[in-house]
């Protein structure tokens, strides 16, 4: 009993240290603290092993699950987010420690090799990655969760005794169904995320790739997946297990391939959700409540993000999964775009002059800004304008960029003040009283035909009302239509000025013009 109390104390003393002084792992604290942390972990590991109580383990798992919930809750505001992150890290540490202390874990060499190797690689990637490459990174990370789920399920099938879920040939049917579902979702997440990664990284074309009979093939694969899970659950056949894993791999690949670049926010959110469901499926198989809780949290989170992204495009999730959106319409509009309409192309000097003499400017960033890495130059430009007494704010459309919140991160990276960045609902009314809307690398999200033209593919999509501003400046590389393949009539209006060129270069030129 004494041991029990001490071990709890060790856990709590760690937690309280986190609450008071922030996470020692994060704040670049001295080596001694790391040593202390490792020592504490070793001591509590030793104690937990000595106590050997499944109930205590279950309670610790519950604590970890609660910490994860607190981690998500912390994200409700920027102020509390850091603390939330610390909770998440403590929760993860607690979960790993509790598992390591399980009496059935007898050898540590593989585990430590995996943790150290993965830790080094993961940290190196996280340190080096550029913020513009964030969507790719997240997609790649999702694929790893999916593959890890596949491996865990395979291990559980290979040697159920290691997980305390029966012996070979006599795993409960319920567990097998869960295992089948878990591995299928995991495999789907793996290949799906790989394709998403390849598209975002530009390794394969971002255009939707479609072929005849695609939906039929996917439907057949989906049905055979369900049938295979059923037969696998009733037979515990290893062959069927690998067959269904293979089909799920193929299906994940085929499902994401036809989805175009600008739909990536939805795809990434969806895969985020899948990776959660896969973890929950494995949790059911292993009878581990922490995995179930976490899987459910992540699954719900991804689902909500997908919903928000779909709403931002006024499209249903099925519409996006069925894919092929960009391609058809681009072809259709190419026919209609034959007639040339006059537009006004301006210079950086013109833009600088207009904005300098304006009272208020709203900047609308889009994917083009991310591609050109223009956020720093843009912020510099905004700073100069502010010094001239111009009120500068930023308007973010929900689906701007390639993942939810992508633009916010890039602007934050460039030190744009948090309060200057506003969401669509917060700022949309203000365009009517704004002198200049500076649209940089965005197009479809400003297109008024989403409101008026019922035949337009983007009809019904909520847009930023930049048309209501006195002057609209578009920074674009060319006159080509946006992703949806729809021409933007704003380009041809009298109060619109087109600035052609790379977003970053244009910003730098405007800065030069402003300074002179």
Partner 1 sequence: MSMISPFILGLTVFVLAVFVGYYVVWKVTPALHSPLMAVTNAISSVIIVGAVLAAGSAQDFTTQLFGFFAVFMAAINIFGGFMVTRRMLDMFTPKK
Cβ proximity to partner 1, 290 vs 499, nearer residue: 290
d(CA 210, CA 259): 9
Cβ proximity to partner 1, 171 vs 499, nearer residue: 171
d(CA 327, CA 485): 8
Using the Cα atoms of residue 203, residue 206, residue 207 and residue 212 in order, give the sign of their dihedral: positive
d(CA 411, CA 419): 11
Cβ proximity to partner 1, 61 vs 474, nearer residue: 61
Quote the Cα angle for 330-465-333, to 5°: 15
Distances (CA, A) of 499 to 260, 349, 398, 475, 503: 27, 10, 24, 5, 9
d(CA 260, CA 274): 19
Instruction: Give me the least distance between CB of 44 and partner 1, in Å please.
Output: 16
Quote the Cα angle for 259-260-262, to 5°: 125
- E strand segments, 58-125: none
Instruction: Give me the least distance between CB of 154 and partner 1, in Å please.
Output: 5
Cβ proximity to partner 1, 290 vs 503, nearer residue: 290
Instruction: Give me the least distance between CB of 458 and partner 1, in Å please.
Output: 21
d(CA 190, CA 143): 4
Which residue is catalytic, options 444, 453, 487, 494? 444
Cβ proximity to partner 1, 121 vs 332, nearer residue: 121
Instruction: Give me the least distance between CB of 406 and partner 1, in Å please.
Output: 6
Q: Is position 444 annotated as part of the catalytic site?
A: yes
Cβ proximity to partner 1, 171 vs 209, nearer residue: 171
Place of tokens 């300074």: 515
Instruction: Give me the least distance between CB of 388 and partner 1, in Å please.
Output: 23
d(CA 463, CA 444): 8
Instruction: Give me the least distance between CB of 249 and partner 1, in Å please.
Output: 16
Quote the Cα angle for 159-165-167, to 5°: 50
Cβ proximity of 309 and 267 under 8 Å: no
Four-CA torsion 409, 410, 412, 413, nearest 10 degrees: 120
Q: Considering just the CA atoms, what is the radius of gyration of the chain in Å? A: 26
The secondary element (H helix, E strand) that includes residue 396 is strand 391-396
SS3 content of the chain, % helix, strand, coil (to 5): 70, 5, 25
Cβ proximity to partner 1, 228 vs 282, nearer residue: 282
Cβ proximity of 119 and 165 under 8 Å: no
Please list the active-site residues: 444
């Amino acid at each position: 009993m004494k041991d029990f109390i001490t071990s709890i104390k060790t856990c709590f003393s760690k937690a309280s240290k986190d609450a008071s002084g922030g996470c020692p792992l994060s704040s670049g604290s001295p080596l001694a603290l790391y040593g202390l942390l490792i020592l504490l972990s070793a001591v509590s590991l030793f104690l937990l092993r000595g106590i050997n109580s499944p109930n205590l383990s279950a309670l610790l798992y519950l604590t970890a699950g609660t910490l994860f919930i607190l981690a998500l809750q912390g994200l409700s505001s920027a102020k509390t987010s850091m603390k939330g992150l610390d909770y998440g890290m403590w929760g993860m540490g607690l979960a790993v420690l509790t598992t390591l202390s399980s009496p059935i874990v007898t050898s540590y060499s593989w585990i430590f090799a995996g943790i150290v190797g993965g830790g080094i690689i993961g940290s190196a990637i996280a340190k080096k990655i550029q913020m513009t490459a964030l969507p790719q990174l997240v997609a790649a990370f999702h694929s790893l969760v999916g593959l890890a789920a596949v491996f865990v399920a395979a291990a559980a099938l290979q040697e159920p005794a290691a997980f305390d879920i029966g012996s070979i040939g006599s795993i409960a049917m319920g567990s097998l169904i869960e295992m089948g579902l878990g591995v299928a979702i995991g495999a789907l997440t793996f290949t799906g995320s790989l394709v998403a990664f390849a598209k975002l990284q530009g390794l394969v074309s971002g255009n939707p790739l479609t072929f005849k009979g695609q939906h039929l093939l996917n439907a057949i694969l989906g049905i055979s997946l369900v049938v295979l899970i059923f037969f696998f659950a009733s037979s515990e056949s290893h062959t069927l297990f690998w067959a269904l894993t293979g089909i799920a791999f193929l299906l994940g690949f085929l499902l994401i391939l036809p989805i175009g670049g600008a739909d990536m926010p939805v795809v990434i959110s969806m895969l985020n959700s899948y990776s959660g469901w896969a973890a929950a499926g494995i949790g059911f198989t292993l009878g581990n409540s922490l995995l179930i809780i976490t899987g459910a949290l992540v699954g719900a989170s991804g689902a909500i993000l997908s919903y928000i992204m779909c709403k931002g495009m006024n499209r249903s999730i099925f519409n996006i999964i069925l894919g092929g959106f960009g391609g058809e319409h681009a072809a259709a509009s190419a026919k209609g775009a034959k007639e040339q309409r006059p537009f006004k192309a301006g210079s950086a000097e013109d833009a600088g002059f207009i904005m300098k003499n304006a009272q208020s400017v709203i900047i609308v960033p889009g994917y083009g800004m991310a591609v050109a890495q223009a956020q720093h130059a843009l912020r510099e430009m905004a700073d100069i304008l502010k010094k001239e007494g111009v009120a500068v704010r930023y308007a973010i459309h929900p689906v701007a960029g390639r993942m939810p919140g992508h633009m916010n991160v890039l602007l934050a990276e460039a030190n744009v003040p948090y309060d200057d960045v506003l969401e669509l609902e917060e700022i949309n009314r203000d365009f009517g009283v704004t002198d200049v809307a500076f649209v940089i690398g965005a197009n479809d999200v400003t297109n008024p035909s989403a409101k008026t033209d019922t035949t337009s593919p983007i009809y019904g999509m909520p847009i930023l009302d930049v048309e209501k501003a006195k002057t609209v400046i578009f920074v674009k590389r060319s006159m080509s239509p946006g992703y949806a393949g729809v021409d933007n009539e704003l380009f041809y209006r009298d109060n619109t000025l087109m600035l052609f060129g790379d977003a970053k270069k244009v910003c730098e030129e405007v800065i030069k013009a402003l300074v002179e």
